[in-house]
Structure formats: C-alpha cells, structure tokens
Amino acid sequence: QVTKEFIKYTAELTGKENPKICFLPTATGDNQYYINYWYELCSDLKLVPKVMEVWINSSAQKESFEEILLSMDAIIVGGGNTLNMLAIWKAQEIDLALKKAYEQGIVLAGGSAGSLCWFNAGTTDSRPKELTIVNGLGFLNYSHCPHYHSEESRKPLYHKNILDKKLSDGYACDDNSGIVFINGSVYKSVSTDSESFSYYVQEQNGKIVEKELETEIIK
C-alpha cells in the first residue's frame, strides 16, 4: 500500500538527496481525495512530489506524458481499477513512456493495481462479479498477487490459476509488504510491520509450493 513509509523508502531507492517523485492516480480516475492525500503524505518528506493526471486537455498541459515521466527520479502508481488504468495508459501511450523510464533506471513502484501492473499477469477485481485475469506491462516476467492474505478469495484463486497454467509462477504480497526488483530479479523483500510478508509461489509436480521471502522491516 502507498503509505508514508513506502514513499520514504522509494525516495531512498533513488539514491538522490531530494528526488522528484511522480504519483499516478489513474486507477482511481484521478480522484482528488487521493491526490490531496498524496501531497499530505509527502509534506514532511525530503522529496519533490508531483502528480500526473490523465483527465486533462491540451491547453492546460504543455508537457507530454513521456516528458513528465522521464524527468522523474521515481514513479509511484496508486491502487484502484487495474484494467481501466492499463487501457487508458495504452490509449495515451503512457505504457511506452513507462517502459522508457524502466530502461533508463527510474525507480518504478506502487501498491495493489500499482504493483500488479509491472508483472506479466495476475488476478484483478476490475471486472464485475468476480476476480479475473488481467495482463500487465510485463516488465517483470512473473505473475503477481496483491492482497494475498487480506482478501479471502485471492490466495486460493492464485494457486488454482498457476496449477491450471493460466498464470506463470510468481510473487504474492501481503498488504504491508513489497519486493524490490533490480534488473528483473528479486533484490529483497520489505515490510512495514512484522506480520506482513512476500512469497514466491510456484507449481512443482502438480502441487503449489509457497516460499516466504526473508523480509526487512522498514520505517
């Protein structure tokens, strides 16, 4: 989840003294409450906060989405409707700009929809009635399951989809835990409390094997 601790840790990952960090609230439809909350969380942190909204018009915004994103030290994506977010990104070519940001070493982060988007696929509540599979940007060639233990249906469905070969092996995270990847490989798992963890989940001989990652507590 995007918390003050999460933002502070993301800022530290940039290695900059006063990094420029852009928040993308696309998944909540650029919700103003979420935007205000972002600035509130950042108010006493050593960083320069920005928000990139997508509900804009040409007269109000003279920079392209790519120009904004590539000028940042880190980009944090908020939670919400993953499917709608990805559709808008594709229409606006924000997905292509994010790929360039990734290739340039800009730190990419997020929670919920904002973590699922970086992986090849996972389950989402973005459609009516039930959890379904959504394809992500594929920067990380694994499947992903956010809200692993906080929502009852997430874990068993994730296991079933891996066993049924609908999803590849991948990584699952509790709400207050996350994983740092460097060049597509796991560097470390971090959590903001001692009860939250991340896991590698894979199929072996027709069964699910779940490995809890060693976790560093961040504050």
User: Which residues belong to the active site?
Assistant: 112, 147
> Do residues 218 and 178 make contact, with C-beta atoms less than 8 angstroms apart?
no
User: Rounded distance, CA 40 to CA 44, Å?
Assistant: 8
Torsion, CA 69, CA 75, CA 78, CA 83, rounded to 10: 60
Torsion, CA 187, CA 191, CA 195, CA 199, rounded to 10: -30
- For 139, the token pair is 């920067």
Per DSSP bridges, beta strands 170-173 and 198-204 are antiparallel
- For 69, the token pair is 């994103």
